[in-house]
Structure formats: structure tokens, C-alpha cells
Amino acid sequence: MNASSTNLETLAIHGGTPVREKLLPYGRQSIDDGDVQAVVEVLKSDWLTTGPKVGEFEERFAERVGAKHAVAFSSGTAALHGAAFAAGLGTGDEAITTPMTFCATANCILYQGAAPIFADVSRDTLNLDPDQVSAKLSSRTKAILAVDYAGHPAALEELGELAHRHGALLIEDASHALGAEHRGKRVGGIANMTVFSFHPVKHLTTGEGGMVTTNDHGLAETLRRFRNHGISSEARQRQEAGQWYYEMVLLGFNYRLTDIACALGLSQLRKLDANLARRREIAAQYTAAFRDLPEVTVPVTRDEGNPAWHLYPIRLQLEMLSVGRGEIFRALRAENIGVNVHYIPVHLHPYYRERLGHKEGDYPVAEEAYERLISLPMFHSMAETDVKDVCQALRKVIAQYVK
């Protein structure tokens, strides 16, 4: 809801009237009665954990992204861990990844005892720069782990070719990119393995949850065993076959996703196209609204990419402003616009500095971008008034701080 126009010229952080009366979050889930009913039906069924809805969700999801196999996990992080395991990462191995991501992308490499090797990002998309990756390849490189930052597909063909020539696998962290396309192909069937997240702020949610898609039958089988303690069969399979015997064939984890969550996922999947269309509409409105605002740089879309717009990250032209990103951030929050920052580069977190020896200045493109980034609210249930409030608030704040 718009606040009264009285006193809008004075920033809320300085005592003025905020643009909104209530906080607009940067992202949130959208659950309707159909979603609730789908979950209730499972709650009344015989299976709550790994039952028939898991397989159905996996099958429908694989069809949607154009992959032969989909393996559900309890979270996006668990799915990343599964992909790192299936890629064969272990002690002495290296995997090249981006610093411009949530820490789970790099952490999954550490979980396997391997070393994350960061490469800097391209200035336009903030995705992994293939030239920087090429310079980091070594005899120990076993995987390249790319991220589709904000929902814009990474340079998947170039990175895939680098991985293939080096005998490594390409793992795509598409947690931001469900529904995105790269050169006319859907994200999910391009890389050796593609990882998705179903956190509430993503394009569809299962509460917590994740998925790995692949066209490789062997990788899919390894992923299924890894998520189930390393056991070669699942309880439902044994029950249907009237058998009790099972074998643990590798050291796995309990990373299973429940039937409850998969019922929600199936219901949400049916609305994915509409959700994507709305996000793209919001992104287009933002881009049009800020194109003539020189103090702000809007996200770049390359010709070969059709982004899914999990985030809408702007970059501030700090040279044209009298304050830093922190002041702009706080001023927007005071206007009840729930902006966020994505991401603190992974190598700058204390663990990576103190335990692994990374330091400021190692990846200058990612670090410079971080100092300027602000993520505007982006979720498919945003109303037109919400979008207008964001545009009004950003212009109001920037106007106050122009040099």
C-alpha cells in the first residue's frame, strides 16, 4: 500500500514518510489453496516420507527441464553435495567455482575433502569468466562448478568444452535459474549435472528441497544412493517387492525429500510458466524505470540467455553518489523496501580467509561488484503497486544522494 504523499521528499531515514506502510520483502513464497490441498492429501495417505510423490515429482521435473533423470534432495545444499560426490571429488582434487555465490556452492567441494579454486567473474553478468577458469585449470581439476547468477545462465557451452577437454565434469548451480534458457536450450539438460533449489524465495518451493538433473544414468544412480545412506534400494521398493534385504554400497547421507514436500512441488510446478512470466514482466518494468537513471546500472542480459530472474541486482555508480552502498541500503529499508545484497564474495568470509588463506584483492571484478550491489524485491506474487513502490523509493533515495 502507498503511504500518504505528504513529506515524501524527505527520506524516511531522516524522519520523512516512508513510501510504504509495511515492509516489502526481497522475496517470498506464494502458496494457494491448491498447494494446501495437495499436501493435505499426502498427509492422509500411507506415505509421508519417500513414497510415490517423490518419483512423480522427479519425472515431471525432468520433463520440464529437458533432462533424462532428476533426483530429489532435502535441500539445494544437499543436492550440491550429492553432485560433488557423484563427480568423484575427493582429497587432493580441485573444483573451480565462482566467488559470487552463496557459500554452499563452494562448501560442497570442501565437504568432499577437495579444494575450491575460485576464478573471477565476467563484468556484465557476474557469472564465471571462461578465460579466468581456463587459467585456473590444473592436473587436479575434477569439476567446474558454475553458478547462474541471479537467474542468467552461465557460459555453459564454453565452460562445458573446457571441462570436457580437461577430463572434468561441468556442474551447474542453477538454484537461481529454474526456467531459464541458454541458446534455446532449457537449463537442466545442458551440463553434466544441474542443481536446483526449492527454498521459499525460489521459482517454486517445497519448503526446503533441491534437485539434481542429469542425462547420465550412472550419475543418477550414484545420486539416488548417496541421498539414501548409500543403500542400493529404497524402502518403498522393498515393500512393493515383499523383500527386507538391502545393501549399503557407498557412504551416503540421509538427504531424502519427503512425499509431503514433493506433493507441494508438483502443485507448484504446474504454475511455473506463469511465475516465470510474471518475474520477467517485473524485470522489464524495473529495467525500463531505471534505464535513464545514470547512478544505477541495471542487470545485463546476453543475447544467448533468457534469464529466470530469481534476483534483480542493480549496481550503484558510487562515483556519482555522495554516500556508499550501505547508506543507500539503509535508506531503502527505511522506506520499507526490503532490499538485500547478493553476495558477499565467498573468499571474503572469515572461514575462507582464516582456514584457506584467501584475501581481499584476489578476485577484483567480484569484489568491486559486491561493493555496489543491491538486490531489489523480486517475486512472482508482487502486485503492480509493489513494483511502483520500489521504483519510487529508489528514485527518491538516489535523488537525495546525487553529487
Q: Give me the mean pLDDT over the 251-257 stretch.
A: 97
Calpha distance 290→207 (Å, rounded):
33
Cell numbers that stand for 276 in this block: 516465470
Q: Which amino acid is at 87?
A: A
Average pLDDT of span 267-280: 98
Strand, coil or helix: what is 343? coil
Q: How confident is the model at residue 2 (pLDDT cuts 50, 70, 90)?
A: very low
What pLDDT was estimated at residue 234?
Answer: 73
**What is the C-alpha separation between 17 and 22, in angstroms, rounded?**
12
**What's the pLDDT score for residue 33?**
98
Confidence of residue 323 (pLDDT cuts 50, 70, 90): very high
Residue 243, pLDDT > 80, answer no
Is 339:26 a contact under the CB 8 Å cutoff? yes
The per-residue pLDDT for 7 is 46
Quote the mean pLDDT of the chain.
95
CB 312 within 8 A of CB 160: no
User: What is the model's pLDDT at position 241?
Assistant: 66
Instruction: Give per-residue pLDDT as tens, 285-294.
Output: 999 999 999 9
Backbone φ and ψ for 48, nearest 5 degrees, come out as: -105, -35
With bands split at pLDDT 50, 70 and 90, how would you rate the model's confidence at 383?
Answer: very high
State residue 239's pLDDT score: 66
The structural architecture, per CATH, of the domain 33-269 is: 3-Layer(aba) Sandwich (3.40)
What integer pLDDT is reported at residue 277 of this predicted model? 98
Per-residue confidence band for 232, with pLDDT thresholds at 50, 70 and 90: confident
pLDDT at 246: 86
Higher pLDDT, 232 or 102: 102
Condensed to tens digits (0 to 9), the pLDDT of residues 45-92 reads 999 988 899 999 999 999 999 999 999 999 999 999 999 999 999 999
pLDDT for residue 5: 43
pLDDT tens digit sequence for 43-57: 999 999 888 999 999
- What pLDDT, in 10s, does the model give residues 183-220? 999 999 999 999 999 999 999 999 999 999 999 999 99
Query: Pick the catalytic residue: 53, 202, 359, 403?
Result: 202
In contact, 110 and 116? CB cutoff 8 Å: yes
Domain boundaries, the chain: 12-29+272-401, 33-269
Evaluate if residue 242 carries a pLDDT over 90.
no
What per-residue confidence (pLDDT) applies to 6?
39
**Proportion of the chain above pLDDT 70, given as a percent:** 96
Residue among 59, 73, 50 at smallest CA distance from 259? 50
Bridge partner list, 391: none
For 99-110, the pLDDT digits (tens) are 999 999 999 999
In 98-232, at which residue ranges do the beta strands (DSSP E only) sit?
115-118, 141-147, 169-173, 181-182, 185-186, 193-197, 210-214
Same CATH fold assignment for domains 12-29+272-401 and 33-269: no
- Cell 547462474 belongs to 148
pLDDT of residue 179: 98
CB atoms under 10 Å from CB of 42, counted, come to 21
Cα distance between residue 48 and residue 160, in whole Å: 38
Number of neighbours of residue 82 by Cβ within 10 angstroms: 29
pLDDT band at 236; cut points 50, 70, 90: low
What is the Cα–Cα distance from 89 to 113, expressed in whole angstroms?
A: 8
For 12-29+272-401, CATH number?
3.90.1150.10
In the residue annotation, 202 being an active-site residue is answered as yes
